Amino acid sequence: MDWGMKNRLSRIINPVTKRCVMLAVDHGYFLGPTSGLENLGKTVKPLLGHADALMLTRGALRTGVSADIKVPIVLRVSGGNSVVGDDLSNEDITVNTEDAIRLNVSAMALSIYVGSQYENRTVVNLAKIIDQGEKYGIPVLAVTAVGKNMVRDARYLSLASRIAAELGAHIVKTYYCKNFRKVVKTCPVPIVVAGGKKIPEKDALKLAYNSVNEGACGVDMGRNIFQSDSPMGMIKAVRAIVHENASVKKAYQIYKRG
């Protein structure tokens, strides 16, 4: 792995603790102005000091985030689908790698939809972005999106995560599930866990706690932070779990303090 790739990865995953709190706000590329992201820049700005990385789209970066931030950017480079479309798996590459370089991103992120109608295109797109990333020293985060007919169980998520890793992804984003340790053990690259749809804050903190204690390097969490009644409290609480191994009880107290 070349110096540049290592340097970019070390901005995202702490090279000492091997942990990461990634704030995901890329949802607009298929959900539009989802709750909490109506004014993305305003939502994100106060949270940046507690995020190790920020995952978002090219448009959100340019219109909602100041160019002088110190937080590394994970750029969503796939899309072409929508929540009202025929099939969420119908995604393609939507950002030219040269523009990712111009935007000085620390990683590129793309979804694969294993088991869906567009499985082949999304997995081959992952390989294409990885090839581009290798050319310029930019790591790739593979998002194991779950097609509508798929079940988020360890068997499916370890299949999808391992496929992403075999194709050469540097980080895999997947979901927490029963027997999550199996997903981690069969994936040779670091895993970050998505929070998924909004759930009660204590449950989201349990999800983060279980994820890192069963081998994930951290979280790439969005809705359970920016749709919380206290996004600041939640990101601080998640950070305490991921970086200080705080208990859920202690983290929940941090969330309540805001």
CB of 256 to ligand 5RP, least distance (A): 21
Tell me how far, at minimum, the Cβ of 220 lies from ligand 5RP, in Å. Answer: 5
Give the nearest distance from C-beta 253 to ligand 5RP in angstroms: 22
Q: How far is CA 216 from CA 115, 141, 177, 257, in A?
A: 23, 14, 12, 26
Calpha distance 18→137 (Å, rounded): 20
Q: Judged by CB under 6 A, how many residues of this single chain contact ligand 5RP?
A: 13
Give the separation between CA 148 and CA 108, rounded to whole angstroms: 24
Cα separations in angstroms, 59 against 95, 113, 209: 10, 23, 32
Distance CA 122, CA 34 (A): 24
Q: Give the number of other CB atoms < 10 A from CB of residue 42.
A: 10
Using the rule CB under 6 A, is 220 a contact of ligand 5RP? yes
**Does 178 qualify as catalytic in the annotation?**
no
Under the binding rule (CB under 6 A), the answer on residue 40 touching ligand 5RP is: no
Query: What torsion, rounded to 10 degrees, do the Cα atoms 219, 134, 112, 231 define?
Result: 30
- Contacting ligand 5RP (CB under 6 A), which of 79, 133, 139, 195? 195
- Is the CB of 68 or the CB of 183 nearer to ligand 5RP? 183
Measured from the CB atom, is 29 or 252 closer to ligand 5RP?
A: 29
Residue 207 interacting with ligand 5RP (CB under 6 A): no
Task: Say which of 18, 42, 128, 173 is annotated catalytic.
Answer: 173
Residues 46-65 that bind ligand 5RP (CB under 6 A): 55
Is 141 one of the binding residues for ligand 5RP (CB under 6 A)? no
Q: Does 36 engage in binding with ligand 5RP (CB under 6 A)?
A: no
Contacts of 249 (CB under 8 A, 6+ apart): none
Question: Segment near ligand 5RP (CB under 6 A), from 20-28, 79-87, 132-140, 245-253?
Answer: 20-28
Q: Answer for the pair 144, 122: CB distance below 8 angstroms, yes or no.
A: no
Q: Which residues in this chain contact ligand 5RP in the complex, by CB under 6 A?
A: 24, 26-27, 55, 143, 194-196, 220-224
